[in-house]
Each structure stands twice: as structure tokens, then as C-alpha cells.
Amino acid sequence: MSQQQWTAVDRYITDQLAPHDEALEEALRASDAAGLPPIHVAPNQGKFLHLLALLQGARNILEVGTLGGYSTIWLARALPPGGRLVTLEMDPKHAEVARANLARAGLSEVVDLRVGRALDTLPLIAAEKRGPFDVVFIDADKRSNPDYFQWALKLTRKGSLIIIDNVVRNGAVVDATSTDPNIQGVRRLYEMLAAEPRVSTTAVQTVGSKGYDGFAMALVTGDA
């Protein structure tokens, strides 16, 4: 099994089931042209996020880590009229690219993009009583995953879904001796998820155009 094969299969799946429209295509083109790293979710993963938000009947979504707004577009398109998505991005350049991409997708009124470190903006979101969120997608700096998960719990309700990207990292997650703060952040997240009685959680490994990684999903089953 090779990366080439995973990419070919992802392309097949995407062509069949997660076709791109102009706004999604242009979001990736503009992100690339602006020099953003190509670390957005794959198209079929974006569609998966979209379906999860639909399953949740989500009207209020929180995303941590916007980049060029590619996953934001997939998620926001699952919202009914009047639904809202708050997305948090630290890098002003990424935010600028995302704003243009969201505008082209017709989502400027739906998406509230907040620039700043998420650990600074999350308390403001809480103070503004913007929650509870029906879906939270955590996809920023991995070392802060434990903090983001605690915030997600504060900002959700029983029945909400918390999704965390990149919880396998090419298999590095099983290295208990890793000194990489991102791996340590992911491992601390698992420990937190395992010990948290208010959620029921799993994680799934994935291969595809974005390599070998995975995501975790925590359903809030108790009052957060």
C-alpha cells in the first residue's frame, strides 16, 4: 500500500461522491496561491464533516483552526437558514485568505471568523454566550488539544458532537516517549477523553490523499 494508491482511491471517491464546485475549488486554489500549507481536510473528509453536521441537525457550529476556510465551507453548508458557524484562526494571513474564500462561497453572513489565539478567543466566545454548539471541530495546533477539548465541553450540551482531527499522526501517537509537543498534546487528549464521563468517544485511523492519520469523535452524553 502506497501513498500513490491512497491518493488515487481518494480521487476516485471524491470524483464520485464529493464533487467540487467552483467555491471549493477556488478556496483551494487561492489558499495555495497565497502560500498556505496544504493541510486542509481532504474533500471526502470535508464531505464527512458536512454529513456529521447534517446528522446533528446543527444550527450552531464551532471550528478551531480555519486555515483558508476549506473545512469551514463544508461545515457551514450543512447549516439551515439562520444557522451560524464561529471559526477561530490565529494567523491574520490565513484569516484574510479564508475571508475571501468564504465570501466567494456566499458564506460571509453565516461564518463569524475570529482572529487571535484560540485560547484567547474561546473565553470571549463563552462570555458572549455564543454556545451551546451542536458540533465542534478541533483542528488547530495539536499541543493545545487538551485545552481545546475542555473548552469544547464547556461550550456544548448533551447531544453535541466534538470532532478532533489528526489524532494518529502517521502512527506517532503510540510513541509514549515522543518529545514532540504535538504528539504529547494528542496523547494527553486521549487520556482526557478516556477519563471523561460526560463523553462517549472513539477514534478512527484514515489513509488518503493527506497520508496516514485519523480523527476522534466524542458524543456528549452527559451534561457538560
Whether the CB-CB separation of 88 and 140 falls below 8 Å is answered with yes
Pick one of 102, 107, 118, 136: the residue that binds ligand SAH (CB under 6 A). 118
134 binds Mg ion per the rule CB under 5 A: no
Q: Using the rule CB under 6 A, which residue among 90, 111, 138, 199 binds ligand SAH?
A: 90
Cα 91 versus chain centre, distance: 16
Residue pair 88/64 in contact (Cβ under 8 Å)? The answer is yes
Nearer to ligand SAH, 32 or 91 (CB): 91
* 103 is an interface residue for ligand DHB by CB under 6 A: no
- Work out the burial of residue 211: count CB atoms within 10 Å of its CB; fewer than 13 is exposed, 13-18 middle, 19 or more buried: middle
Lookup result for grid cell 461545515:
75
Sites for ligand SAH among residues 49-68 (CB under 6 A): 65-67
If contact means CB under 5 to 8 A according to the sort of partner, which of ligand SAH, Mg ion, ligand DHB, none does residue 88 touch? ligand SAH
Cβ closer to Mg ion: 14 or 166?
Answer: 166
Give me the half-sphere count of Cα atoms (radius 13 Å) on the Cβ side of residue 42: 24
**Sole binder of Mg ion in the list 10, 63, 89, 139 (CB under 5 A):** 139
Residues 131-170 vs ligand DHB: string with x where CB under 6 A? Answer: --------x-------------------------xx----
Which residues, listed in sequence order, are joined to residue 113 by a DSSP beta bridge? 87
Partners of 129 in the β-ladder: none
Total residues in contact with ligand DHB, by rule CB under 6 A: 4
Identify which of residues 34 and 39 has a Cβ nearer to ligand DHB in the complex. Answer: 39
89 near ligand DHB, judged by CB under 6 A: no
Q: Is the dihedral of CA 151, 152, 155, 156 positive or negative?
A: negative
